[in-house]
Amino acid sequence: MQVPQIAHVGPVPALSIPELARRLQDGARQLEAQFLGKEEIIRLLFVSALAGEHLVMVGPPGTAKSALIRAFSQVIEARYFDYLLTRFTEPNEIFGPVDIQAFREGTYRRRLDGMLPEAEVVFLDEIFKANSAILNSLLTLLNARRFTHGNTSVRVPLISLYAASNEVPTDEALSALFDRFLLRVRVDYLDSFHFRGLLQKGIDLESKQMNPDAGTLSPIISARELRELQRNFGNLLRFSEDFLAMFKGLSFQIRSEGIGLSDRRIVKLLKLFAASAIFDGRDTVNDSDLFVLRHVWNTPEQEEILHEIVGPVLDQWYEHHPDQARIGATPTNLQDLLDELRVIRETLTGSEVLSDMQLFSQLRNLGDIKAALARMPENPTAQRMIAEVDKLLETMFASSRFV
């Protein structure tokens, strides 16, 4: 748990959208330098903070969920609180202990100093393991930005709450809490072509954690500046008729696939589209901001359906606006794929005799690379590489060991 106290005096000067975008993208680059293959997730962290909405990451242990949010909290100058929840966690641990002196005088209230109700950015790990006493308080806090203890109800300064879980909750009692997270992001293990980059960035991160004198990330925006932006956010919610028509079509297509998308969530998504535009330095949205719809699933199985619905719209946009490629628009780094393909080719054509396990491992790696390249249909280099992958696959299957 970490709750730094930030002191500010006087009014916060309004930031222009280009200046704000420059700062946000600087923060994103700092995070991308530490975390491999997390470009879209990092963008969503900033988008959710701008819009004042909440985000949950779902994935297996060891996928850098906690480390990513802790690093993100360093680039947002804000009071920060984090906690790992279990079914044994008590409300005192996150909301504050009961004020004994006040209790003796007949008043029930909590001491909130340094606890979650006073934080501006919050991270709760394994949130769906919390007990009902905590869940009930969180529901009001997330939705109404209020915390009630005893007869006292206080407004909390929360900007966004980020959560992590190893799995999507199936308990009906948790559905209301899950619904409060407008954005749902799947976090999985990196593909094979990211392996060497993972090792290098992992070594760098471990070295910094072991060295207390190592440099930390630089804050790029304060919580007060974010709140000032949100106070005037209504001025940024401007949408063309063409965009709204596209959004309407996608929304009803998503619903027709059996993916629940309530009217409340549809309205809130408009804030995320506007925040995505701000991140790029724009004061109006365009179709590229619809990428947010890939992250409104209710079950992991629906994620693929959303990609199939939204993907063609994004592909068409970037086909007509190739100069507007943004952070996280490309599913993976083409140079990483080239390097990995070269290593595989050298391994397969070398003099060393490979075991069956090694051959099957390389076969799986080639499949991963081909799938990544297929997501770059407009890139001629990627298409040439697909042909090269096919040749390598033919060579492997021509071997008697695969017959």
**The tokens of 258 are what?**
């059996």
Find which of 5-14, 147-156, 381-390 is predicted with most confidence, using mean pLDDT.
147-156
Backbone angles phi, psi at 21, to 5 degrees: -60, -40
pLDDT of residue 215: 61
pLDDT of residue 1: 52
Mean pLDDT calculated for residue range 345-369: 74
The span from the CA of 335 to the CA of 15, in Å, is 36
Residue type for position 230: Q
Mean pLDDT calculated for residue range 277-288: 92
Mean pLDDT calculated for residue range 239-248: 94
Give the 3-state secondary structure of residue 77: strand
| Burial zone of 9 (CB within 10 Å; 0-12 exposed, 13-18 middle, 19+ buried) | exposed
Strands 152-155, 146-149: parallel, antiparallel or unpaired by DSSP?
antiparallel
From residue 400, how far is each of 262, 351, 358, 396, 397 by CA, in Å? Answer: 55, 17, 16, 9, 8
Residues whose CB is less than 8 angstroms from the CB of residue 271 and which lie 6 or more positions away in sequence, other chains included:
51, 52, 53, 233, 237
Residue in this structure with the two tokens 């050298």, named with its chain if needed = 346
Mean pLDDT calculated for residue range 245-263: 94
Beta bridge partners of 121: 80, 160
- Judged against a pLDDT cut of 60, whether residue 75 lies above it is answered with yes
Backbone angles phi, psi at 68, to 5 degrees: -65, -45
- Judged against a pLDDT cut of 80, whether residue 189 lies above it is answered with no
Residues whose CB is less than 8 angstroms from the CB of residue 180 and which lie 6 or more positions away in sequence, other chains included:
54, 138, 139, 142, 143
The span from the CA of 313 to the CA of 163, in Å, is 29
Asked whether the beta carbons of 288 and 329 are under 8 A apart, the reply is yes
Return the axis-axis angle of helices 334-349 and 380-398, rounded to nearest 10°: 20
**The tokens of 275 are what?**
């925040």
Q: b vs e for 358-396, b when ≥16 Cβ sit within 10 Å of the residue's Cβ?
A: ebeebbebbebbbebbeebeeeeebeebbebbeebeeeb
Look at 200 and 146; give whichever has higher pLDDT.
Answer: 146
Look at 232 and 249; give whichever has higher pLDDT.
Answer: 249
SS3 per-residue string spanning 228-297: HHHHCHHHHCCCCHHHHHHHHHHHHHHHHCCCCCCHHHHHHHHHHHHHHHHHCCCCCCCHHHHHHHHHCC
Question: Could you report the per-residue pLDDT of 134-176, keeping only the tens digit for each?
Answer: 988 899 899 889 998 878 889 999 999 999 999 898 888 788 8
Tell me 133's DSSP state.
Answer: H
Q: How many residues does the chain have?
A: 403
- Judged against a pLDDT cut of 50, whether residue 259 lies above it is answered with yes
Give the 3-state secondary structure of residue 20: helix
**The tokens of 194 are what?**
């990211």
Asked whether the beta carbons of 290 and 315 are under 8 A apart, the reply is no
The span from the CA of 160 to the CA of 119, in Å, is 10
Residues whose CB is less than 8 angstroms from the CB of residue 391 and which lie 6 or more positions away in sequence, other chains included:
none
